[in-house]
Amino acid sequence: MAVLGIDIGGSGIKGAPVDVKTGAFLEDRIRIPTPTPGSPDQVIEVIRRIVKHFDWQGKIGAGFPGVVRRGVVETAANVSKEWVGTDLAALIKESTGCKAVVLNDADAAGLAEMRFGEGKRYDQDNVLFLTIGTGIGSAFFANGQLWPNTELGHLQVRGKDAEHRAGDGVRKDNDLSWKSWGKRLKEVLKIYDFLFNPDVIILGGGVSKKFKKYRKYLKGINAKVIPAELLNQAGIVGAAMAAKESIIID
């Protein structure tokens, strides 16, 4: 079965039809920069463009960078605050005519990684999955079961959000070396490790493909730290999975 997966990020909105049985893209993904400031009207217009691009008429799954319950956005860190209280699932249905399921973007990526990526080898363990991009998203799995909307990127580290200390956006904006940024990431991971005692930490997002450049700076963490297999495709795949399986987060 094919489902259109959409990953809404602070810097880009990506989409592709997904074979939810295999996790494979059925067509090349499309990426459109997220308009500033990322208001509901702006983002919905991009989603309409993606739907039109694929001439899509079926189900849509969408991952959003914030806490989402039953399709309603409760927090919005890297896009406009106008999103708070918006029923994104209903808005997509109204704007495109397609039934939609919406969940936290990191939860979506984590679901995909646990089903089709590295996580499938650790479905009996406690797994912390992180998406490291503009910010830091998180998804926690206990024996394969998702604890939704954890949003650990906003845990305070040295008086600021963890993602403002060690997100990939910080690395790029400050032109940090992999060594300097790796040490910051290690500091954040050690706090997560201490608080949640995961067996495995899986690093996803764009920096996962650069893991060899900074892994030597992550020594001293009790949990096993590994890069994600699905890289930055996971959010699209997981969103599609959630729509196919009608995963609604309360």
pLDDT tens digits for 11-32?
899 999 999 999 999 999 999 9
pTM: 0.95
Instruction: Give tens-digit pLDDT for 173-228.
Output: 999 999 999 999 999 999 999 999 999 999 999 899 999 999 999 999 999 999 99
Please report the pLDDT score of residue 60 as a whole number.
Answer: 98
Report, in angstroms and rounded to the nearest whole number, the Rg of the chain calculated over CA atoms: 17
Return the SS3 of 197.
coil
Residue with tokens 């029923």: 87
> What's 89's domain CATH number?
3.30.420.40
Q: How confident is the model at residue 231 (pLDDT cuts 50, 70, 90)?
A: confident
Domain count for the chain: 2
Does any domain span residue 114? no
Q: Tell me, what DSSP letter sits at residue 60?
A: E
Q: 67 and 148 share a domain? A: no
76 is a domain residue: yes
Q: How confident is the model at residue 98 (pLDDT cuts 50, 70, 90)?
A: very high
Give me the pLDDT at residue 78, please.
81
Residue 94 falls inside a structural domain: yes
Whether residues 222 and 131 fall in one domain: yes
Q: Which domain holds residue 73?
A: 2-107+233-244
For 95, residues 6+ apart whose C-beta sits below 8 A from its C-beta are 44, 47, 48
Q: What is the pLDDT of residue 203?
A: 97
Examine the domain organization and report whether 238 and 201 are in the same domain: no
Do 85 and 19 share a structural domain? yes
SS3 readout for 103-150: EEHHHHHHHHHHHHCHHHHHCCCEEEEEEECCCEEEEEEECCEEECCC
Say how far apart CA 224 and CA 72 lie, in whole Å: 34
Task: Let me know whether 51 and 94 are in one domain.
Answer: yes
